[in-house]
Amino acid sequence: MLQKKVCMLGSFSVGKSSLVRRFVESMFDEQYHTTIGVKVDKKVVHANGEDLTLVLWDIYGEDVFQKMRLSYLRGMHGYLLVVDGTRRQTLDDALELNERVVAAIGKVPAVLALNKYDLTDQWEIEPAQEAQLAAAGWTLEHTSAKTGDAVENAFSHLAQAMLAK
């Protein structure tokens, strides 16, 4: 079976781990996150008529105290950039992070997950801005780890993009 290294990127507490926890096979304890800053999980998706193993490197969210280890991104085939749609700041941070990633690794397939979409009343991202992001070439997904909406879609879109490459 084809395998791809996929990283989960995004700021602290945007819900990366929640997405992973609900939708992937897990083997390791959450505490790997806090000790070495990454937790490795696995998800098998079906895309373009074939099964694909995604080895997910769920990388500890960046905050003011801890910068992300870019070395964990080496060799990745794609990534899911996760944003908390109820906190506008996390989108800006994510785009800033994305620039650093592209500078370090080069361009690889990515999907932008606007998470916590179940909290519509607190949503802070304007439709105009979303249109702007789509125009810039982003594949957008409105995900919710709580309800499970669009999470599978986010992973399979990423898988398709990686296979197409």
Residues lying near another protein in the complex (CB under 8 A): 1-5, 25, 27-28, 32, 36-42, 53, 55, 57, 69, 71-72, 74-77, 162
The nearer residue to another protein, 67 or 122, going by C-beta atoms, is 67
Closest approach of Cβ 5 to another protein, in Å?
4
Residue 27 sits at φ, ψ, to 5 deg, of -135, -30
Closest approach of Cβ 53 to another protein, in Å?
6
The nearer residue to another protein, 4 or 142, going by C-beta atoms, is 4
> What burial class does residue 106 get, using C-beta atoms within 10 Å of its C-beta: 0-12 exposed, 13-18 middle, 19+ buried?
exposed
Closest approach of Cβ 45 to another protein, in Å?
13
> What burial class does residue 30 get, using C-beta atoms within 10 Å of its C-beta: 0-12 exposed, 13-18 middle, 19+ buried?
exposed
Contact predicate 47/33, CB 8 Å: no
